[in-house]
Amino acid sequence: MTEARTVRETQHETSQMMLPQHSNNLGLVFGGVILAMMDAASAVCAIRHARSICVTASVDRVDFREPVHLGDLVIMKCSVNYVGRTSMEVGVRVESEDLQAGTRRHTNSCYLTFVAIDRNGKPVEVPRLIPESDDEIRRYEAAKERRRRRLEERTAEQQR
C-alpha cells in the first residue's frame, strides 16, 4: 500500500465567474452547472489523494440553500474527509461571492464518493488519510458514519 497523506496535502479550491451561458432567463445559475463544478473540483481532491484515475461513485443529497446569480463568483472548497480501501469521500463547500458588494454566501455543500481505478477500470488501493486538526478529525468521524449508512442502504436495496 502507498504512503498516507494528510487532508491538507490534497485540498483544492477553485472559483469561476458565472456568465450568461450558466444562467436561466431570471439571471440565476442552473443547479446542473453547480453540480458539474462540484464534481470536477472534488475530483481534483480525489485524484491528488490517490494519484490515480478516480471516478464518481455517488453524490449525497444536494440542497440549494441560496441562489447563485449571474455575475457571482462561485468558489468551491474541497477536502478529502475519509478514505476506505479504494474509495474516498470528498466534501465540497460552495460559496457565492457578489464581487461588487464583496459579500459571500454559503450556497450549498455535499459529499461525493470517488473510487480510484487503474487503466482497466479495476479499483485500486488508495493511501490512508491522516486527519490532523480537530475539524479534520470531526469531519473524518462524520464521514465514517455516512459511509456506514450508505453501505447499509446499498445492502437494503440489493435485498429488494
User: Of 78, 77, 72, which Cα lies nearest the Cα of 96?
Assistant: 72
End-to-end CA distance of the chain: 36
145-154 pLDDT, tens digit each: 999 998 888 8
Band (pLDDT 50/70/90 cuts) for residue 114 is very high
pLDDT at 115 over 80: yes
Judged on CB neighbours under 10 Å (0-12, 13-18, 19+), 25 is exposed
* Three-class secondary structure of residue 99 per DSSP: coil
Q: What is the pLDDT of residue 2?
A: 58
Judged on CB neighbours under 10 Å (0-12, 13-18, 19+), 149 is exposed
18-52 pLDDT, tens digit each: 999 999 999 999 999 999 999 999 999 999 999 99
User: Of 82, 84, 155, 94, which Cα lies nearest the Cα of 126?
Assistant: 84
Number of domains observed in the structure of the chain: 1
Q: What is the pLDDT of residue 35?
A: 97
β 5-6/129-130 pair status: parallel
Q: What is the CATH number of the domain that holds 74?
A: 3.10.129.10
pLDDT at 12 over 70: yes
Which residue range(s) make up the domain with 82? 5-158
Q: What is the pLDDT of residue 18?
A: 98
**Predicted structure pTM score:** 0.92
Q: What is the pLDDT of residue 83?
A: 97
pLDDT at 1 over 60: no
Band (pLDDT 50/70/90 cuts) for residue 159 is confident
DSSP states of 33-70 as a string? HHHHHHHHHHHHHHHHHHSSEEEEEEE------S--BT
